Amino acid sequence: MPVQGKEIGRGQYGVVFACESWRGPGPCAVKSVVPPDEKHWNDLAMEFYYTRTIPEHQHIVKLRGSVVDHTYGGGCTPAVLLIMNRLSRDLYCGIRSGLKLLVRLQIAIDVVEGIRYLHSQGLVHRDIKLKNVLLDYDNRAKLTDLGFCIPEAMMSGSIVGTPVHMAPELLSGHYDSSVDVYAFGILFWYICAGNVRLPFKFEKYQNKEQLWVGVQKGTRPERLKCFDDQCWTLMERCWSADPSERPLLGYVLPQLMSIIARYTLEASQVKPRPKRSCSLDGCHCTLDDSLSMSFSL
């Protein structure tokens, strides 16, 4: 049984704890879940199955194994422990900490590569959001929480996901892999915004039912002043109401690469601030140097 350390995360149905090691080198994380009903037992089974059976990928969190803890709650209700490689934090925390734009754009590329990989395996994630994107210690992204993941051929009738990121057709139960493209469009809004605040246009809704109605009527996040035309156009295409108008991820990826290349070039062309001479008699340092010295005294 893995030894659970301090709590490092919490979700609707479970808690994530740190664990120093378990069946392999290096630290890991233990996701402890108490499924409230049969449906959630099934979701857990799906998460374990897909994270264990699909070939390992650099942008999908690796699952080491699972354990059923029959002693949880005095043995009344068993808990399922999913043990996976421990990463640094999720994208929600990363953005809140002030990740630079170029780092965030690289994360967007990593996410698209992870989604493309799942799609290549015939799977649809169905719950792409900030807290399901984990970052390693180099701020490279991996997708996690495959409990809602399902073969595309089996999708019908089930409504899953997180309301803000849910494509309008998800509510009808008839959808395809393009729901992940829609969710990425919303995720990309947060990535470009550089904050985790709910889009202003969504703040007026008091519950998820109102939000769903608004999304079906065409409500989408607003354009912020910091968005350039290429980023905004990509978002709008991804969250198009018509699934057939959403771009393929094979198109999205080079668009993101073009955006990050442009910003990298612009950053390299920024001229350094000219150094001003210090006016103190007999001093040969620059003003920047003298300011640094005055604050270090």
Q: What residues are annotated to the active site? A: 127
Q: Is 142 annotated as a binding residue?
A: no
Residue with tokens 């069946």: 23
By C-alpha distance, which of 165, 163, 49, 183 is closest to 111? 183
Distances (CA, A) of 15 to 30, 33, 79, 89, 199: 8, 7, 11, 14, 27
**First and final CA of the chain: distance in angstroms?**
54
| Separation of alpha carbons 182 and 268, rounded Å | 32
| Separation of alpha carbons 186 and 167, rounded Å | 10
> Binding site for ATP: which residues?
31
> Binding site: which residues?
31
